[in-house]
Amino acid sequence: MGKFLVFSILVLCTSSWADDVFEYEDCGASDKTIFFESLDVSPLPVPFPGVVKTSGRIMVTDTIPDNAIVDLKLTRIIKFITDIPIPLPCISGFGSCKYDLCKLMLGNKERICGYFPEGVPCECPILPNTYEGEDEPMSLPDVGSFLSMLAAGRYKVEGRIRDVNTDKELGCIKLKATLTSSGFR
């Protein structure tokens, strides 16, 4: 009975914490190429699975080369008396991994190309321009009710975009978001 009570308290403390959070920060260096000027997501909390609308404005001041990578760090924030950050490792190409920016873009054209200005090709290399969209729909995949319930919670994400040849950081963004599942509503 004692173990069940401790488990129940842990579940209540971690799963009932549901701040409707979405925040972003441009964390790039002063000599960056990519400027994250605005970013918004609705509805909040972010439904997983589900469809969200994204709005944003990104200014690119120099060509982003074909060999750019995104070094992604994912952290799950568990609430138990205080915030406990749990880094999520790279497992089978998902999580805190290094991703090829162009492959990511090519695999997600339906989510990304709406931000490209008319006449600018949605391909790599990414040309200098201002990329913006308003209420662009983005589908978050259905991974099954059990996994989506496990995924529900608060997250911090940091993405650093780098040129592989020069190791120059081209841009950086930090996000805080709350994901929700139908199992937690």
DSSP 32-47: -SEEEEEEEEESSSEE
Q: What is the pLDDT of residue 94?
A: 85
> Which residues 6+ apart lie within 8 Å of 11 measured at CB?
none
pTM of the model: 0.83
On whether the CB atoms of residues 112 and 132 are closer than 8 A, the answer is: no
Q: How many domains does the chain have?
A: 1
Residue pLDDT, tens place only, 42-60: 999 988 888 999 999 999 9
The pLDDT tens digits for 96-133 are 999 999 999 998 898 899 999 999 999 999 999 999 99
Q: How far apart are CA 38 and CA 16, in angstroms?
A: 30
- Give the CATH number for residue 45: 2.70.220.10
The lowest-confidence range among 4-8, 65-69, 85-89, 162-166 is: 4-8
Containing structural domain, residue 126: 2-184
